Structures are given as structure tokens and as C-alpha cells.
Amino acid sequence: MPSRKSKSDKKTETHQKNLPAETKIMQPVVREAQEGILVHFYLACGHMITMRKEDLEESSPSSIECWACEEANKKR
């Protein structure tokens, strides 16, 4: 007898199909350095993300979305 999938199983399956387009890779901030209006965040993955102070939602985030890791995952 074939197993029946519940609605939540179907939602999860659909979400997983769309996952690569939606994946946000958050990396812990190892250290940060301020330089004028810029803040450099050194991440655990080895990448550095630079942002303007005024663009930060919080003063010292513990983790940041790493767009470089996201791009590397797209190429795999």
C-alpha cells in the first residue's frame, strides 16, 4: 500500500525544491574593525564583509549573511 503524504510533507518537499534560490548562509562574526564610516566584519568562513555604519540594523551583529558563501554554493 503506498504511503500518503500529509499536507505538511508536501509543503516541506516544495520548500526544498525552492531552497537553493532562498538559501541564506549566516556566518558568525569573528572580529570587526571600523574605518571611518565603514565596518569590516571578518567571518568564521574566512570572508570579510564591509558595510557602512548607517546600513547596520544592529551595532555589533553576532552573525552576518555571507553572500560570498552563497555564490560559492550556487556554483557547486
Nine cell digits for residue 7? 499536507
User: Model confidence over 16-71: pLDDT tens digits?
Assistant: 444 555 578 999 999 999 999 999 999 999 999 999 999 998 888 999 999 999 99
Mean pLDDT of 4-14: 47
Q: Is the pTM of this model over 0.85?
A: no
Taking the mean position of all CA atoms in its chain, how far away is CA 70?
Answer: 7
**Domain ranges for the chain:** 24-75
Three-state secondary structure string covering the chain: CCCCCCHHHHHHHHHHHHHHHHCCCEEEEEEEEEECCEEEEEECCCCEEEEEHHHCCCCCCCEEECHHHHHHHHHC
